[in-house]
Structures are given as structure tokens and as C-alpha cells.
Structure 1
Amino acid sequence: MLQEHIRNIAIIAHVDHGKTTLVDQMLKATHAFRENQQVQERVLDSNDQERERGITILAKNISIEYKDVKINVIDTPGHADFGGEVERVLKMADGAVLLVDAAEGPMPQTRFVLSHAIAANLRIMVCINKIDREGANPEKALNDCLDLMMDLGADDDQLEFAMEHVVYASAVNGYARLDPDDGNTDMYPLLDMIVDALPAPDVDVDGPLAMQCVTVDHSDYVGRIGIGRIYSGTIHAGDKILVVKNDGSRAMSQVKQLFTFDYLGRKECTQAEAGDIAAVVGLDSTDIGDVYTDPENPVELDPIEIDPPTLSIIFEPSTSPLVGREGDIVGGRQLKERLEQERENNVTMRIEETPDKTGVEVAGRGILHLSVLMEQMRREGFEFQVGRPKVLFKKDENGNKLEPIEEAVVECPNECSGKVIEVFGNAGGTMSNMSAGIQQTHLEFHIPTRGIMGLKTRIMNVTHGEAVFYHNFLEYGPFAGEIGGRQNGAMISMSTEKAVAYALGTLQERGQLFVAPGDECYEGMLVGERSKPGDMVVNVARTKQLGNQRSSTADIAVQLTPPRTFTLEEALEYIMEDELVEVTPKSIRMRKRILSETERRKWRVRNGLVNK
């Protein structure tokens, strides 16, 4: 039975192609806001980091009403590090709007999200966005989309549907058109096509209850909230239901509260029917993949597999000499409690205490995935330190070592392609595809996740900042052998003092500095990078010896190059095995694990790294 009053659609696209802006305009077109209401841009990117980074991190559900049809809209992340969100939430949809930039065309992560939509057998309509952008070529972008769908194995019905259902839009200007030049100035052609063309849920309203949890929300007041689509039957507040876990275990539970989505919020209701998306409160320790079903006529649904993490980082309490100066929360107990709370909320991460109880190991899908958590914690006032990200290896049935392999795509100027290939070769990458255009070269590589770390900086250096670089997890493949790390040595502070311009003036001749005059430094802290291999201990607080024949004010002004600054992701990629990143609410510092040079030398002798 078709539920004609409901449409469940997902909006899928590459990072920064305009998904969230498009949803804003759909909300405005369906009068979700009062006429005089002040609304921020990208209203669905409610998280501070989402707004600052300009990316969607968490998949979100909203609903809008148009022509007496309830449209449940799922805004998905476009970044591969948050791919675990995309795979699951597409199970709630019957159709998808593929959003593509009219100038850029399909990009690497377009392939990633589109492949999941095709695998889920969704009906896909194409929306060519940013048609007002300079260099826009809507016709080419559409043809490239259709070619990509063929490459990804779309069947004839999906291809035919996509060819017949195309909308041209400028989300930022608030219009959608059936023809790029027809002069329409509102979003109604897009909404009409969603209602008229995308399929309604085909479900059995009178059958036994079957609902699957695909997203878990968390409330400090009611605990875990299971969100998912109802495939058959009707669920009521107060119902006794059977909860079937992914491992087959079963338990009885009661629905305490029931919500459906209503524009940007949730609306409490007494019942929800098949075809709708609902949020259920009261099911203890509910998890991704749980099936809520009728105890007397249980329905079986396929379990949901979450892609395994590929990288892990160990969080430890800070042991820096400057600990407690910038953050309010520095204790190991509070750090563990915060990460245990994250484990409740974030099912895409694996969070476990280390065997020696000194830290907590957090495993995720990539450095960005992990750094988003760190950034959130430092904003909450935490101070902590983390080691170098470690790749999570596997073994196949024959005992062979496997490691995560990434698919990396680079678009760079033609004259830089040779240097890019060389950089990938040194990092253990192998080229899988190359196509040269008039000005740009498109390169594709398969490269171990270990080799990705620090690669973006090197690519930007050899292409003078003109490259576009994306990567996403491909598969677990054979271990690729040793991959060289950082080539240059570090400059390490020998004392705990503030940096002085005179000392930095002499040190900048030896390499690149990370600190400026007046910055707090401590023994063992990385203050710069040498231009040669091998670490060097330096004095950043050395001042000029003054005789009585000249005063300090008559000294020659020191000309300093601005220091190199690191984002959290860049610092994590930069450090070596014996180094740590110290994270505070105000600073990101890199340091040696063993701060004392004498102790570091003893450690190297004990481990046979130098001659006695």
C-alpha cells in the first residue's frame, strides 16, 4: 500500500556543493519560518564546528509540508570520514536528490555517496546547483552525472529516471528551474518534482510492527533515543515491543514516548504509521541496527553493519609543565568520563580504556573524524595530550596482514602532475587512473592510510596551493611495507622560558620556526623544523650579551619570518611516534613524549637506537 501523503528523501552530494543551503531554501519555500523571523544561513548546520568548517558532520532529519504531503528530508554528510552516517540513513529513504555543482561536476565524494544510493536501489533525481556561478556548464555536469551512474552500476530504471527528472538551481539565490534559462525565481519546481516523481513509501500499514533504528540520539533526561523508519505496522506510545539486536539477542521493552519530525523540530505523538520516520524514547541501551517489532509476530530485517574504524588515537591526561594554565578540566578521571559519555552518543567511534589504564583509545574513520571530537572537547575546557594516529591492521583467514587502503583523487595543473605522482610514490601510493585536460590533470591513486598522513601539505607545496585533493576509504588490502615518515628533524626547546626574538633570529637560519617572540615554551617542546634530518636541542630564550659600551635599545632590530601554525589535523599528521600533541582550549603544541634530553638519550640507548 502506497502512503501517498509521505515522501522520504535523502539529499546527497560532495562536500560544499550546497546541500544544506538547498534545504534552507526548501524550508523557506514551505513557510517553516515566520515572515519577520531572523534565520541564520545553513540552519541545519547547528553545530559550531559545522558552521566554521563549512561541512555537514552529522546527518539530520527534518520534515516539510507541501501540497498536503509530508516530505521527510535527510541531510547527509558529504565527507568520507563521516561515511558511516551516510550508509545508514539512506535506509530511511525511498528516493534521493543528487546535488552537483554546475561548474565542478561530480567530484570524488559524489561517487562515494552516489554508490551507496544506487546500492540501496533509490530513485535518484539530479539537481544541478550553482548555475549562476562563473564557469558553470550545466549540460556537461548532467552528462558527467549520468556517466558516473553508469560506471557505478545503476540499472536501466535508475538511469532513465535520472535522465527524465533534472532540476537546475541556485540554492544561494533561492530558485529552481526545469530549464537553466526559463527565468523562474522560486523553489517550487524542485518541490513539485519531489512530490510528483519520487516514490511514496510502499508499506503494509496493517501488518505486524517492523521498525529499524538507524541513528541514535542522546538526551541527558531520557537517555538514548532510537530514530528510524517504520517498515510495516503502527507503533503507539505505551506499546510493549520486542527489540531484536544485531547479534540476534531479544528483549522486551516499552515505548515511553514517541515523536515524529515536524519542520526543524520533533512533535510528540501517540502513534506513527508505516512509511514515516519516528523517534522512540524508553528503550534502554538501544543501538544501531536494533529492530523494534511485534512480540507475537516478529519481523526479521537485515542487520546494519557499520564500517569498521581505520585509525586510532590514545587520549591521555596532559603532563605538560604548562598544564592547567589554559583549561579548567585537566584530570584523568574527567577525561575518561567525557569519553565514556561520547561512547554513548557516538556509535561510529570505538572507545576503550587502554590495558594499563593510563589513557583511552579512540578509534574512528579518519583524522578529521577524530579531530572533530578533540576540537569539541577543547571548547568544553579540557586539556589533554594525544599520540600519533595509528592505523588499525587486520589479518585475513590465512594470517596475512591487511591494512586500510584509501582511494585518493587529485586535480592539479598539468605542469605539476609529475611532482604529485612523485609525492604519492614516496608515500606508498600507486596510480590507478590519469586523464589530462587542457589545463588540469585528473589523477587517481590507491594509497595506504598510513601514507595519507601529512600528504595534503606536501601536495599543496609542490602545486603552489593549486591542487584539489580528496580521499576516502576503499578497502582493506595487503600490507604495503614500510613507508618513510617525516624527513626533517625537529628543533626542541632545552628550557622552560618564553621565546626571545634574538634567539629566534639565529634559529630561523637553521629551518622553519613554530613559535613567535613571547610564546611560552618548555623543555621538550617542538619549536621548529630543521632543514636537515636529526633532532636539534636549541635555546629559544638566549639573549644578546651587552657590554657597557652599548645599551639594549641600540640593538639592531631582528627581522623574523612569521612562524608556521598548525591546525589540529596538521599537528596530528606531523608528529612522529615519540612525539605528542598537547591540546588546550587556547593552544595546540607539539612536544616529545620524554621531555628531558638526558632521559631521551637514555631511552634511545636502552632501545638500541644509538651507540652507548
Structure 2
Amino acid sequence: MTILNVLKLRGVPQRLQNLKAFVQNYSSHEKFAEHKPLEKIRNIGISAHIDSGKTTLTERILYYTGRISQMHEVKGKDNVGATMDSMELERQRGITIQSAATYTQWKDCNINIIDTPGHVDFTVEVERALRVLDGAILVLCAVGGVQSQTLTVNRQMKRYNVPCLAFINKLDRMGSNPDRVLAQMRSKLKHNAAFIQLPIGLESECKGIVDIIEQKAVYFEGDFGLKLREDEVPKNLLSKVTDKRQELIEHLSNVDEIFGELFLEDKGFKDSDIKAAIRRSCLKRSFTPVLVGTALKNKGVQPLLDAVLDYLPHPGEVENIALIEKEGQETEKVILNPARDGKNPFVGLAFKLEAGRFGQLTYLRCYEGVLKKGDSIYNVRTTKKIRVARLVRLHSNQMEDVNEVYAGDIFALFGVDCASGDTFVTNPKSNLSMESIYVPDPVVSMAIQPVNAKDRESFSKAVGRFTKEDPTFHFHFDNDIKETIVSGMGELHLEIYAQRMEREYNCPVTLGKPKVAFRETLTAPCEFDYLHKKQSGGAGQYARVSGVLEPLPPHQNTLVEFVDNTVGTNVPKNFIPGIEKGFRMMAEKGLLSGHKLSGICFRLKDGDHHIVDSSEFAFNLAAQGAIRECFENGCWQIIEPIMMVEVVMPDEFQGVVIGQLNKRHGIITGTDGIEGWFTVYAEVPLNNMFGYAGELRSSTQGKGEFTMEYSRYAPCLPEVQEQIINAYQQAEGILPPEKKKKKN
């Protein structure tokens, strides 16, 4: 037997091959994990409406930057699926459920990217991503344009003051119209936006793009559009490019003083002047540059990456504020220093939790200082000290170890017991804390229980993990109906968690009919003057409260307020917290239908106390009695969540769909139609939307799609209110007023 055969038998060539792959992977990791100056860092999120092409765009970005060697499609036709859709459910459904982080390199700059979901059910994933990012790419479909979730994402960017680029994707689709999308951005999103690129052809004729600033055509050739060829602008587009360039200049001159002066002097512009003006105005969120392309057909992605470097901010250009809370003093604001010189103490924010293979995985953003492996950090909320045993940076579901992270980096820690929104520091005496993440209230509740009683332990583990990871997923046991209730942002949200329990914990569950979060509110002010008096031997109880319970304005009908308008010493100030506590206890369960009270203000005007018998507990009971008195004397109504619904379907189903929405007591707020497709915008009570997905599919031959998001609370119909009250009274065994009279 030859020596070569012996080596083959022993597997030496295979080991050498494995070693070679390891070295390549390690050198690749070193390339991407290399620390750069602050100016060479970009933290961006990719956000959009459902099916606008966010994950496909991220896949192309990773491919063109050399982060991955092969591209895969979102739907996973090759049984692989997109890199950023690492969860099996995401690949099967073709949707993004969890935001996924990665980092890559383009033209000597490190880019941290978070790909976010488009469904409103997973909106908290977008919230916490935008909270820690410096810039964003707002992806819009060239056919769908500005849709319902685009409006939500735009509001979230505004809330966290995140500058953005707009990328009009899917130019290859039938009916694509970038001009219409730009008009919608200006009218619906109120963006001061203008094209900096134009497409060369649309639909099947899409060949490339024209750079309006440098006035050149760019074609994407070779395998997967890797080779860029620059050429002159096609003659049929020359006049349009001139017009759009002039439009761009006018939009910039309106918002940028330096550029405006150049415009008024009429001395002409260099390309660098226009780019500098775009960057300055984009950082201030006063202008949105609009780029075009088709990620699926590999066109327009590389110029988009150039625009990210040219126009979006690096961490040093974003003002990040921490708060110092001192007892008895106003909260002090401190601007954090993102310098990467290692002189400042570490400050980081935990923005996402996930169960990893080695315990809880906590995603953090470093805002100040340096954190090294082996350092100790403190949780500002709990004051617990934690030793950092392992630092990782994330590439979807893959982890890559690093020895240190600097200001501007997004990274993760293992085994840290914390909550989403916690601040971590190396100097516990600083008392610094970052502003937390906005978490919307859940709107849908469902009864849930494991199919098999023996799975209760797995069920409690799953619920414990999911409620910790997702602050919009709530869980509680309702003593009144003796059922376990889960609440979330929509039916899809709860359905996904039910499937994950079965897949990840081998615990099949059944979900009951969704329950809507109704509320009870007043329609007119109701005065109260309640005396709580108890004398039965020993220490007595004496408390009197008077004031008015009044409704809040419609835009505040989800709030509950307590206002102390007392003057003098009739109600001692040390008893006021007891009154507020009693009021808020009663607000947890109304006497009309058992739902929470909202949209009311308890205005305390006066009262009385006894020098011996008054106590905080007595005033607590007096406040509860005052609310009961208001239930008897006041005029109450039930309000319900109203959803903003957007339905897209082919033209021929327009009448059927509008009829269905009317039957569900929907109010049509607008319509839109483009080349064979029709969009209906409506406001529909959430209670009437259950089961609509199946009805829409069957009535539109599977071609109709709808999305909905919470809009506001509004009074429900009288017959619905009567049904809710009757059901509650039957469940509680309460006799209606007319039956009480007969019995007496």
C-alpha cells in the first residue's frame, strides 16, 4: 500500500482541508472584527412594510461586502433560506420574526446592520433596533409605495430621531412606479425627499440606474451584478435627469443654509457641494435622499452602500444622552462621549434578550468607553455586579468572540440576568442611566393551555423565556375566569409563540378565541362626596373624600390620571398616596363589565379626617367607595380598540372587500388604485376583525392581503356594550336592575 493511500485512510487530506477552512474563516473573522476609528463605523437598521424586500436587501449587502459566499432566497426554495432568517419558522413562512444583527465591511468602513420584521405584530423588534441605531434605510416597494407599516416605522424613526435614506426596491415588478412612491413620501410621510438616482427602465426592462449628482449611468453586469460599468446617461433620460437634478438642488437649498447661499449666488455647483449638503441635511432629518434599485435582480445595492457611508452619521455625529437621577432634584442630562480612546468609563444599553445555547444572550450597544473581556460591569437598575467572561459579536445566529468592544459597537454578553432597556456601567457611582425603549401595549388576548397536563413544566419555562425576551408578550392567570391568558400585538404574534412552544419545548398548546382589551370610561363628569366611617370597638376608621371624576379628552382615553387639588389640612398630605392607591386599585376592574377603567381623571378637591381614627388605609377605602358611588350615579360606556386596516386586492374584488369591511362595521377612510390593484384603507373595531384573514383569502382567490395596526380607542356600539355587560353579569351571577326590583 502506498504512503498516499495510508494518508488517505487516516483522513489526513480531509484534516488539512478542515484546517485550511478554519484559517480562512478565522482570517475573515479578523477582517470584519477589526476595530476602526469612529468615522469608519456605521450602525444602520433596515426597516419597511411587509414584503418590501428588507431581508433580500440585507442578503445582497452581505454578499457584495464579502461577508457570505452564496446568496439564498427568503422563501428558502433551496431549503437554505436567507442568512438573517435563522429561525426555522422564519424560513418556512418567508417572514422575519426576530430582528437579527450582523456586521460587515465596505470600503474600509465597518457597518453594523440590524434587519427588522415588517409585521406590526413584531413592532417591538423595530422599536428596540431603532433605539440603538444611528441611521436607517427605509425600504419602499416600487408598486406598494407607502403602506400602513411604513407609516409606523416612520413614526418610530421620528421618535428616536434616526436619520434615514429611502431605497425604492422591486423596480422589476409589474406596475412599479418610483415617481408615485416619491409623491407618497412627500404627502403621507411629510418627508422633504428627492431622487439622487433614477432607474434605467422599469419592470422587465430594468437595466441599471443613473446617478443624478455625478450624471452618469451605472450598469450591473457579470455574475450576480458584481461588476459595475459606468457609461454616459442614455439620451432618452437626459432631460429627466436635468429636471430631477434641478429639483434636488431646490429641495436642498430650502433646508441647508450653506447650500442655499450658493444657490442664491448662482455660481454653479460642484458634485462635492451637493453631496456635502445632502449629508448635512440628512443628519438633521430635514432631507431624505431617495435611491432606487431591485435587490432580487442585483441592481442598485452597491451605490446604496456608498450612500450609507456618504450620508448617514457615524456614532460620533449622534448626540446620545444619559440621565442622572438624584433624590429631591431634577433629573440631570449628560451627553455621552463616544471617543474610542479608552479614557471614559463604559456605558451600554441592553436592548434585546434571547435564549442562547449557553444561557441568556443579551444584545448591547456601547455608547461610551471600552469594555474588555474579564472586566466587571454594574446593572444600574439592580446594582448587581457582573463579570464579563465572554464578549461576542453577532452574524445572524453565529457568534464570533472578540476581546474588547468600543463606543459605537453592537455586541452581546452571555449569562447576564437583566431586562430589556437596562443600563450597564463600569463606574457604579456615576448613576448614569439611558432612556429606555418605548413598548406599546398589547391589544389581543387569548386563553392558552398545554394539550397535555404533563407538559406544564415545559410550558412555564417557555412562557418565562418568551415574556422576558419580548416585552409586548404578556402572560397572567385570570382568577375571575380561571384561565391562563396571553396577550400580544396580534393573532399572528400569539400564533407564532404557540408554534415555537411546540417546536422548541415539545409542548403543544391550544389557543382559545382571542379576547379584546375593552375599557370602561365616563361620558360626563360625576361629582362624589364619600364618607367612610367605621366604629365597632377598638381603633375606628374615618375618612371623607370629595371631588369629581371626569373624562379625559378622546386622544387621552387610554390614560388614568389622579390630580390633587386640595387646599389646607382637611386631607393631610400623608394620606394622599392612600387615596391614589385606592383609586388605581378600582381602576383595575370596572363594575360595568369587569374591564379596566381608562380615560378618566380622579380630581380630589376636599375631604375630612379625624385626629385619631383617620389612616392611609381608611382613605384608601374611601377612594374605593367614591368610585363605587360614581358607578351608581355616573354615565359609563365601554370603549374598544379601533384598528387601521389596509387591504390590497385585484380590482375585480373591490366591491366584495368593501362589502366585507362594511359588514364588520368598518369606516372606509380612503382608497387607492394602480394598474389592476386596488387598496382600501379603513378603521374597523378589533373585535370584528377576527377570522378576517380566511374570509379575505377565500373571497379574493388567495390574492388579497391585509395589514392592521392599532389606531385608537373609541366607544363601541350600544348592542355590543349590552352583550358585554350581560355576559359579565351572567358570569358574575349579578342580577340586572329590573330583576332585582321584582325579587324585592
TM-score (norm 1): 0.68
Match status 1:12 vs 2:47: yes
Matches within 5 A, 1:38-53: 40-53=80-93
One-letter amino acid of the structure 1 residue matched with residue 710 of structure 2: F
Matches within 5 A, 1:524-603: none
In 2 relative to 1, CA 378–224 (structure 1 residues): closer, same or farther, beyond 3 Å?
Answer: closer
Match status 1:190 vs 2:304: yes
Match of 1:473 in 2: 710
Maintained 8 Å contact 1:27/1:64: yes
Aligned length: 469
- How many angstroms does 1:330 deviate by? 5.6
Give the Cα–Cα distance (whole angstroms) in 1 for the partners of residues 116 and 344 of structure 2. Answer: 30
Match of 2:338 in 1: 204
- How many angstroms does 1:96 deviate by? 0.9
Maintained 8 Å contact 1:242/1:251: yes
Match status 1:404 vs 2:641: yes
Match of 2:422 in 1: 290
- How many angstroms does 1:358 deviate by? 6.9
Q: Which of 209, 216, 220 in structure 1 is aligned with 2:353? A: 216
In 2 relative to 1, CA 158–445 (structure 1 residues): closer, same or farther, beyond 3 Å?
Answer: farther
Match status 1:347 vs 2:471: yes
Maintained 8 Å contact 2:166/2:288: no
Match status 1:302 vs 2:427: no
Give the Cα–Cα distance (whole angstroms) in 2 for the partners of residues 120 and 480 of structure 1. Answer: 37
One-letter amino acid of the structure 2 residue matched with residue 453 of structure 1: F
One-letter amino acid of the structure 1 residue matched with residue 600 of structure 2: N
One-letter amino acid of the structure 2 residue matched with residue 33 of structure 1: I
Match status 1:22 vs 2:57: yes
SS of the residue 1:172 aligns to: coil
Maintained 8 Å contact 2:498/2:508: no
- How many angstroms does 1:418 deviate by? 4.8
Maintained 8 Å contact 1:14/1:78: yes
Matches within 5 A, 1:395-544: 395-398=597-600, 401-412=638-649, 416-435=653-672, 440-463=677-700, 465-483=702-720
In 2 relative to 1, CA 266–159 (structure 1 residues): closer, same or farther, beyond 3 Å?
Answer: closer
Maintained 8 Å contact 1:64/1:263: no
One-letter amino acid of the structure 2 residue matched with residue 228 of structure 1: L
Give the Cα–Cα distance (whole angstroms) in 2 for the partners of residues 480 and 283 of structure 1. Answer: 49
- How many angstroms does 1:192 deviate by? 1.3
One-letter amino acid of the structure 2 residue matched with residue 23 of structure 1: T
Match status 1:392 vs 2:517: yes
Match of 1:86 in 2: 126
One-letter amino acid of the structure 1 residue matched with residue 681 of structure 2: E
Give the Cα–Cα distance (whole angstroms) in 1 for the partners of residues 287 and 193 of structure 2. Answer: 15
Deviations 1:544-597 (A, max 9, x none): xxxxxxxxxxxxxxxxxxxxxxxxxxxxxxxxx9xxxxxxxxxxxxxxxxxxxx
Deviations 1:236-294 (A, max 9, x none): 2333323133xxx543333332223358633222321111112123432x111101123
In 2 relative to 1, CA 481–53 (structure 1 residues): closer, same or farther, beyond 3 Å?
Answer: farther
Give the Cα–Cα distance (whole angstroms) in 2 for the partners of residues 195 and 118 of structure 1. Answer: 21
In 2 relative to 1, CA 295–333 (structure 1 residues): closer, same or farther, beyond 3 Å?
Answer: closer
- Which segment is superposed worse, 99-108 or 375-384? 375-384
Give the Cα–Cα distance (whole angstroms) in 2 for the partners of residues 397 and 216 of structure 1. Answer: 33
Q: Which of 126, 129, 132 in structure 1 is aligned with 2:169? A: 129
In 2 relative to 1, CA 4–441 (structure 1 residues): closer, same or farther, beyond 3 Å?
Answer: same
- How many angstroms does 1:307 deviate by? 1.3
In 2 relative to 1, CA 276–476 (structure 1 residues): closer, same or farther, beyond 3 Å?
Answer: farther
Matches within 5 A, 1:139-178: 139-150=179-190, 157-158=281-282, 165-176=289-300
Maintained 8 Å contact 2:143/2:176: yes
Give the Cα–Cα distance (whole angstroms) in 2 for the partners of residues 131 and 162 of structure 1. Answer: 26
Give the Cα–Cα distance (whole angstroms) in 2 for the partners of residues 195 and 404 of structure 1. Answer: 42
Q: Which of 130, 140, 151 in structure 2 is aligned with 1:111? A: 151
One-letter amino acid of the structure 2 residue matched with residue 275 of structure 1: G
- How many angstroms does 1:356 deviate by? 8.5
RMSD, matched Cα:
3.7
Match of 1:363 in 2: 487
Match of 1:234 in 2: 370
- How many angstroms does 1:174 deviate by? 1.9
- How many angstroms does 1:386 deviate by? 2.5
In 2 relative to 1, CA 346–411 (structure 1 residues): closer, same or farther, beyond 3 Å?
Answer: closer
SS of the residue 1:165 aligns to: strand
Maintained 8 Å contact 1:78/1:109: yes
Q: Mind listing any 5+ residue stretches in structure 1 that lack a counterpart?
A: 177-186, 324-328, 485-576, 578-602
Give the Cα–Cα distance (whole angstroms) in 2 for the partners of residues 443 and 368 of structure 1. Answer: 21
Deviations 1:89-127 (A, max 9, x none): 101211111111222222221222122113322221111
Give the Cα–Cα distance (whole angstroms) in 2 for the partners of residues 275 and 159 of structure 1. Answer: 17
Match of 1:512 in 2: none
In 2 relative to 1, CA 260–439 (structure 1 residues): closer, same or farther, beyond 3 Å?
Answer: closer
In 2 relative to 1, CA 162–2 (structure 1 residues): closer, same or farther, beyond 3 Å?
Answer: farther
SS of the residue 2:428 aligns to: coil
Match of 1:508 in 2: none
Match of 1:588 in 2: none
In 2 relative to 1, CA 198–330 (structure 1 residues): closer, same or farther, beyond 3 Å?
Answer: same
One-letter amino acid of the structure 1 residue matched with residue 65 of structure 2: T
In 2 relative to 1, CA 44–435 (structure 1 residues): closer, same or farther, beyond 3 Å?
Answer: closer
In 2 relative to 1, CA 339–153 (structure 1 residues): closer, same or farther, beyond 3 Å?
Answer: farther
Maintained 8 Å contact 1:64/1:71: yes
- How many angstroms does 1:7 deviate by? 0.2
- Which segment is superposed worse, 4-13 or 31-40? 31-40
Give the Cα–Cα distance (whole angstroms) in 2 for the partners of residues 36 and 463 of structure 1. Answer: 33
Q: Which has the larger radius of gyration?
A: 2
SS of the residue 1:261 aligns to: strand
Maintained 8 Å contact 2:283/2:312: no
In 2 relative to 1, CA 36–54 (structure 1 residues): closer, same or farther, beyond 3 Å?
Answer: closer
SS of the residue 1:300 aligns to: strand
One-letter amino acid of the structure 2 residue matched with residue 243 of structure 1: N
Give the Cα–Cα distance (whole angstroms) in 2 for the partners of residues 369 and 442 of structure 1. Answer: 24
Deviations 1:124-174 (A, max 9, x none): 111111212222222322332333330799995459979663332221122
Deviations 1:64-104 (A, max 9, x none): 11122110011010000000111111012111111112222
SS of the residue 1:342 aligns to: helix
- How many angstroms does 1:233 deviate by? 1.9
Deviations 1:22-74 (A, max 9, x none): 11111111112347999934221121221222111100100011122110011
Give the Cα–Cα distance (whole angstroms) in 2 for the partners of residues 207 and 240 of structure 1. Answer: 15
TM-score (norm 2): 0.57
- Which segment is superposed worse, 97-106 or 331-340? 331-340
In 2 relative to 1, CA 64–2 (structure 1 residues): closer, same or farther, beyond 3 Å?
Answer: closer
Match of 2:392 in 1: 259
Alignment identity in percent? 29
SS of the residue 2:39 aligns to: coil
Give the Cα–Cα distance (whole angstroms) in 1 for the partners of residues 294 and 115 of structure 2. Answer: 18
SS of the residue 1:45 aligns to: coil
The structure whose residues are more often helix, as a share, is: 2
Maintained 8 Å contact 1:63/1:264: no
